[in-house]
Amino acid sequence: MTAVRTLRGPLLLTASLLVAWQLLHQWAGDTALTAPLPTLEHLWTMIGQKRFVPHVTETGLAFLQALAIAWIAGVGVGVLLGGHRLSGEVAEPILVGLYSLPKITLYPVILLLFGLGMPAKVAFGALHGIIPVVLFTMSAVRNVNRTYLRAGRSMRLTPMQMAWRILIPATLPEIFSGLRIGFSLTLLGTMLGELFASQRGLGFLLMTAIDLNDVATILAIAVLISLFAVVANTILLAIDRRLRRGSAA
Amino acid sequence: MTIVARLTDVSRIYPPRAGHAAVHALGPLSMELRAGEFFSVVGPSGCGKSTLLDVLAGLAAPSQGTAEFEGKPVNGVVPDGVGVVFQEDASFPWLTVEDNVAFGLRRLGTDAAEIRRRVDFATGFMGLRDFRRAYPSQLSGGMRQRVCIARTLVLQPRLILLDEPFGALDQQTRLLMGDELLRLWRETSATVMLITHALDEANLLSDRIGVMSARPGRFIDVVETGWPRDRDSRLAERPDFGAVTSRLWSLLRTESMLALGQGAVAAQ
Amino acid sequence: MSKAGWIRLVVLVAFFGAVEALCRTGAISPKLIIAPSAMLGAMVKLLASGEMGDDIRQTLLSVAIAMGLSIVGGFGLGCVLYWLPPLRRAVDPFLAAYYSLPHFAFYPLLIVIFGLGALPLIVLATLFAMVAMTMATLTGLDRIPRVLIKTARMQRLSLPAEIWHIRLPAAAPHLFSGLKLAVTYSFIGVIAGEFILSTSGLGHQIAFAYDNFDNPTMYGLILFVLCIAIVFNLLVFAYERRLARQRGL
């Protein structure tokens, strides 16, 4: 019953998007926009083709590496900056400033430093994702309720127990929100990286299709990436909500 | 004795929502507020005190029964002449103290000179004169609550409803604010109804005290204190003061234990 | 200036000084990075020569239009979703995943609808920036303290008066955060779009310089874009500080 209730909205939305797509197709014609069903069929054929697999693997690997860097390094740096107040104060405006810059302008610099190929994509994806993770982690560590720490000390917890039983549960909800946003931005960064000066990957296929005006392929790839993004985000959001339910806020 | 406001067989039931059963929050209960009196309502937590106030203020419609103010029905529509001070800080953070206090008069289109006069009076009365150009964020919680009281006062309400307005303040500040409230009540000749959980406070401030049961709240008794109109916090020194508080507690003790149990059940 | 402020200044000066020294001594090849002072010189020369005038005008105009449209449209959409909770529940997962969608894949479609030129790019940047404003509007409206709404009713305000005198000022801080994001995202959207897809504008000129190994032009332009973004951010920041001070914060 509740599952039906929670799924009804997204299903309706998907349905109305498909209808809008079909109508737009009717209006704009096949050269601008292929219809939903043929696009999905095209996607299915593409997935079945051997030459498609290496591109997906390339993008997937680039994204996963970038995500690993953004998450692990982001939480690490965030914990350090959150724990050491002065460093945090020094770094925060710089990070916020970097966050709001159009990082795409820096992509040529990254290409020069890392060369064409996988490392540049990974670096660019991680560059997008790491800052929100650092900022959220820093804020979470900084704002741990002091009373929890006093309660922990009064129970004579060892530093290990303190970290495991108090600090991690207290900071996890906010850190996870940072990880979720970092996920989205890492994906954005990786894709942006593949769209420019790339020779492999979904972004490369997309750019080639744009150059060739191959509308069916453009839309098929867009649908594939969108599906991945929406599904992954929905799962992360569900975990996020579950974590927050257990916290006071 | 003129009756200012009257509730007749009022109850309030929150309809069932997804995953929640219907909640019978209040009543059925009846009460009358006499012109110019200071009436307090005490009761265990969760008994529907605030719901009672919402019904009287027109912020919530009764599910059954009728509410009247000055002989006219109040059915979920805020009547003219009623002012409320809430427990939470309701000062507008984007306005200065002065603009906060003048807010209602400006909306009514009162002329500038009259606004000036009434704001001067209200800020002076509430001891805010030196803070007129300050913003709420620069004031303590007690001062912000004074801003809210002044903002209600300038509209010259004939019935003032107070929903635990001092709940978030420390004990000493509460006592001083209580004295100011008594002074305001005497000088404006308005009728005041105060919701509180502090028995001493109810005792000190009130002519009559309605004692409510655990949820769904009804009045189990109304205690007349018989204090003189001209009183302040030094009333607590009187030998017969403690007797009234004791009486309130003996009426409430069982109900409060019941409410504590309900809370434990609700938390599960 | 605070202690943290001084340290930050020292850190930044030291960082750029180190890069400058490494470049001047030849430890970093000018094929990778040119010295910051050389970047500045290149930027000044480019601006003085006026050869980028058209691109600068086009980019800034596009950003300005995208900003205006996304702020107004995002706010409007936020209000609509706030008043229609069923619609909001339906689009919620879509909004949450929005920033990981591959927006640039829809560029060919936009060209068909809006023709060639700056317009499809403006639409792309607007769509990119608008949702940040929408989400901030929703947060702002959600977080209006209930007691203020009750106060509005006790003051017997009409609905328009309640919205104008209570709801909007109460939501203002969040609306302003959304506005900041919309400004940033308009920048990112336009520059990234030009970078990948366009044949004119500052983003394109950076990409063009990269392709031609013209590092002085590339770094001069990158510096210029970053300077504009920083100046914009500082202006918004200063205005926000003024607003906060007006509230006595």
Residue C247: phi and psi, rounded to 5, are: -90, 10
CB neighbour burial string for B84-111, b if at least 16 within 10 angstroms, e if fewer: bbbbbbbbbbbbbbbbbbbbbbebeebe
Locate B52 and state its tokens.
């009672």
Q: Given this model, what pLDDT does residue A150 score? A: 85
Query: Angle, nearest 10°, between helix axes C53-83 and C85-97?
Result: 140
Q: How far is A48 from chain C (nearest CA, A)?
A: 22
Strand partners, B83: B160
Q: In CATH, what number is assigned to the domain containing residue A50?
A: 1.10.3720.10
Report the largest interatomic distance among the alpha carbons of chain C, rounded to a whole angstrom.
74
Per-residue pLDDT of B60-118, as tens digits, reads 888 888 888 888 888 888 888 899 999 888 899 889 999 999 998 888 888 889 899 99
* Contacts with C, A 177-236, CB within 8 Å: 183-185, 187-188, 191-192, 195-197, 206-207, 210, 213, 215, 218-219, 221-222, 225-226, 229-230, 232-234
pLDDT-derived band at B238 (thresholds 50, 70, 90) equals confident
> Are B33 and B126 in the same domain?
no
Whether A2 is covered by a domain: the verdict is no
Q: Please, what's the b/e burial string for B181-213 (b: 16 or more CB within 10 A of its CB; e: otherwise)?
A: bbebbeebebbbbbbbbbbbbbbbbbbbbbbbb
| One domain for residues B168 and B238 | yes
Residue A31 lies in a domain: no
Q: Is residue A13 part of a domain?
A: no
Is residue B244 very low, low, confident or very high in pLDDT (cuts 50, 70, 90)? confident
Structure tokens that stand for A43 in this block? 């996607």
Domain annotation covers residue A142: yes
C89, C146, C148, C151: best to mutate for the B interface, most B CBs within 10 A: C151
Residue range of the domain that includes B16: 3-81+159-267
User: Which domain does A98 fall in, by range?
Assistant: 37-245
Q: Mean pLDDT over residues A186-209, rounded? A: 86
Residue A215's pLDDT is what? 82
| Closest CA of chain B from A241, distance in Å | 18
Domain total in chain A: 1
More reliable by pLDDT, C107 or C211? C211
Q: How far is CA A214 from the centre of its chain?
A: 27
In a shared domain, residues B57 and B189: yes
Same domain, B227 and B243: yes
Interface test with C, best of B50, B69, B77, B86 (most C CBs within 10 A): B86
> Does B180 share its domain with B256?
yes
Q: DSSP letters along C156-197, please?
A: T--HHHHIIIIIHHHHHHHHHHHHHHHHHHHHHHHHHHHHHH
Confirm or reject contact between C199 and chain A (CB < 8 A).
no
Computed over every residue of chain C, the mean pLDDT equals 87
Per-residue pLDDT tens over the stretch A112-121: 888 888 899 9
Structural domain includes residue A5 = no
Residues B178 and B214 grouped into a single domain: yes
- pLDDT of residue B268 exceeding 60, the answer is no
pLDDT, average across residues A5-9: 65
Q: What pLDDT does C244 receive?
A: 79
Token readout for C32 is: 């990778």
Strand order in the sheet with B3-14: B23-34, B3-14, B64-69, B72-73
Q: Is residue B58 part of a domain?
A: yes
Asked if residue A100 belongs to a domain, the reply is yes
> What is the C-alpha to C-alpha distance for residues C70 and B165, in angstroms, rounded to an integer?
42
- Taking CB atoms and an 8 Å cutoff, what residues of chain B touch C165? 103, 107
Domain presence at residue A209:
yes
Q: If one looks up domain C38-246 in CATH, what number appears? A: 1.10.3720.10
Interface test with C, best of B77, B92, B149 (most C CBs within 10 A): B92
User: Residue A229: its chain C contacts at CB < 8 A?
Assistant: 97, 100-102
CA angle at residue C58 from C52 to C60, to 5 degrees?
A: 95
Model confidence at A1, in pLDDT bands (50, 70, 90)? very low
Domain count, chain B: 2
Who among C150, C170, C172 is closest to B59 (CB)?
A: C150
- Tell me which chain C residue has its CA closest to the CA of residue A183: C100
Confidence of residue B41 (pLDDT cuts 50, 70, 90): very high
Helix (H, G, I), strand (E, B) or coil at A110: helix
Residue-wise pLDDT for C42-101, tens only, equals 889 988 888 888 888 999 999 999 999 999 999 999 999 999 988 888 887 778 778 777
pLDDT in tens, C3-48: 888 888 999 999 999 988 988 888 888 888 888 888 899 889 988 8
Q: How far apart are CA C50 and CA C206, in angstroms?
A: 16
The residue among B125, B156, B187 that closes a domain is B156
Helical H segments across A115-201, by residue range = 118-142, 146-154, 159-161, 168-195
State yes or no: pLDDT of C198 exceeds 90. Answer: no
pLDDT score for B48: 84
Subunits with 3+ C-beta pairs closer than 8 A to A = B, C
Span C139-188, pLDDT tens digits: 999 989 999 999 998 888 888 898 999 999 999 888 988 888 898 889 88
In terms of domains, do B56 and B177 share one?
yes
- Rounded-to-integer distance, Cα A58 and Cα A64, Å: 10
> Quick one: pLDDT band at residue A3, thresholds 50, 70, 90?
low
Domain match, B179 and B240 both: yes
Same domain, B110 and B198: no
B140 and B175 in a single domain? The answer is no
**B18 within a domain of the structure (yes/no):** yes
In this structure, is residue B86 part of a structural domain?
A: no
At C129, is the pLDDT very low, low, confident or very high (cuts 50, 70, 90)? very high
- Using CA atoms of C34, C38, C41, C47 in order, give the dihedral in degrees to the nearest 10: 0
